[in-house]
Copies of this chain bind each other. A is one copy, B any other.
């Protein structure tokens, strides 16, 4: 099959796991207490990564794969969120210069979090972010590290799936939040290679359900950012999944479901109280799907990936 040969495989993910071991945390799977007879479930606490989100895995793998000339020229990316911090941190650990292009409507707190790791920050109008990052790459020779549509990044995120399979012997279902699709691509590739019997379910906010629409239609769909920006899950506002990500999703994912804004906010509080794990709204959508009762079964353990914990403390206080 022509597509399959271009997909990230188990060997790529296992190699990524070795590369990132010194920088990224092997995060715990924290069980929920559930009544007898209900779905046993747990959260994979990716918010404990040093930058507060799983994104550090893919960024660290991509930086580790640079050749010597690229290391000297540095890296560049565009993001206002968890990927920006991840690339900045991974570059710093590797002793590589990083330039991060950030849209000038990004919150100051996220800009500061990126500068904290020593990255150069370039502020541009939101519509210029892709072009400016590519310009910098062309001018300086810096290697572009895309946030999700990239085999190195997908392999890094896939290490989350490797760990879950190792940590949960009676694993039945893995539930994964989706935006650009980097996490679900890698996790699904890893899980299906090792445990083809385990279900992998992708979850989106109803207000950013481009993948759910595309899944139903059988072709990748792109939404307007004006639409996807409505969701409180600020890490899941990408307008579509990536091309390489679409190929992984159609090859490996079993189902795509959606959750409402109310369900996402309720899940933040439920995860903090029930598993004592801090989670941001984007990181709570998988848990929201479990709590809604639309994924998982009693045949084994369901693991919801709590993908990040970068939440405004005032919002956290309101939701716990």
A residues apposed to B, CB below 8 Å: 25-28, 30-31, 33, 45, 47-48, 50, 52, 116, 269, 272-273, 276-278, 309-310, 313, 316-318, 320
CA distance A224 to B144 in the complex (A): 64
Complex interface: chain B residues within 8 A of A27 (CB): 28
Complex interface: chain B residues within 8 A of A309 (CB): 276
Once the chains bind, are B276 and A272 in contact (CB under 8 Å)?
no
Once the chains bind, are A277 and B28 in contact (CB under 8 Å)?
no
Among candidates B31, B33, B48, residue contacting A277 with C-beta atoms closer than 8 Å? B48
List, sorted by A's number, 12 A–B pairs whose CB atoms are closer than 8 Å: A25-B28, A26-B28, A27-B28, A28-B48, A31-B50, A52-B276, A276-B278, A277-B278, A316-B317, A316-B320, A317-B318, A317-B320
Residue of A30, A269, A277, A320 ringed by the most chain B CB atoms within 10 A: A320
Complex interface: chain B residues within 8 A of A320 (CB): 313, 316-317, 320
Nearest B residue to A308 via CB reads B276
Other A-B pairs beyond A272-B316, A316-B317, 11, CB < 8 Å: A25-B28, A27-B28, A28-B28, A30-B48, A47-B276, A48-B277, A269-B313, A272-B278, A272-B313, A276-B309, A317-B318
Complex interface: chain B residues within 8 A of A272 (CB): 278, 313, 316
Q: In the complex, how many angstroms separate the beta carbon of A90 from the nearest chain B beta carbon?
A: 15
Complex interface: chain B residues within 8 A of A317 (CB): 316-318, 320
Complex interface: chain B residues within 8 A of A116 (CB): 33
Given contacts A28-B25, A28-B28, contact A273 B313 (CB under 8 A): yes
Closest 6 CB pairs of A and B: A276-B309, A317-B317, A276-B278, A313-B320, A317-B320, A47-B276
